[in-house]
Amino acid sequence: MNVRMPFYYGGSKMLHNQIDPIKLSKYVINYVSNFKDDMSHLKLQKLLYYIEAWHLVVFDEPLFKEEFQAWVHGPVIREVFDHYKDKSILNNLLPKEELDYNLDDYLSEEQIEVINDVLDEYGKRSPYYLECLTHDEKPWKQARQGYGASERCEEIISKATMRKFYREMAYDE
């Protein structure tokens, strides 16, 4: 599976803000609903993962302090899972939520542009496609090393590995 790099930025060295992934989840759900596309818990987790991956490439800094775990169906932020587990599990649809904040109160214009570019590129993809994509990439594979395909795993996906892998993909290094 091949997905084009969604954007090119110079990647400034200034410090960028971080955001609570649950707060960003509301934005992601609303943004993707503009495509007339449904949002499952599985898809939300993968979109957050790719947002973090490309944020690491562009800004060399994480967008979330929270870590991704290498679960059976792909990368998961435990805190986001816990927040939505009563509303949706795996492929059940998440309800659209009213935004009670402006994203630009938390993040820079450049950060929002990266997020939107990632959502434009990956947001129209199916949850299964995104799951397969993450399963075919080094960061998730490396974190799950030694685990069976259906074996529970809560190993952390290294942000350094994510940064290196996606930077190499972006710049053909």
Q: What is the model's pLDDT at position 1?
A: 38
- Kindly tell me the sign of the dihedral angle through the C-alpha atoms of 119, 120, 123, 126: negative
Going by C-beta distance under 8 Å and a sequence separation of 6 or more, which residues neighbour residue 166?
53, 54, 56, 57
φ, ψ of residue 10 in degrees (nearest 5): -70, -25
| Helix or strand run (H / E) with residue 63 | none
* Alpha-carbon gap, residue 15 to 138, rounded angstroms: 27
* Alpha-carbon gap, residue 68 to 44, rounded angstroms: 13
Q: What is the DSSP letter of 160?
A: H
Tens-of-pLDDT digits for all 173 residues of the chain?
344 444 444 444 446 899 999 999 999 999 998 877 778 889 999 999 999 999 999 999 999 999 999 999 999 999 999 998 876 565 667 777 777 788 999 999 999 999 999 999 999 999 999 999 999 999 999 999 999 999 999 999 999 999 999 999 998 76
Q: What is the model's pLDDT at position 35?
A: 78
Burial (CB count within 10 angstroms: exposed 0-12, middle 13-18, buried 19+), residue 152: exposed
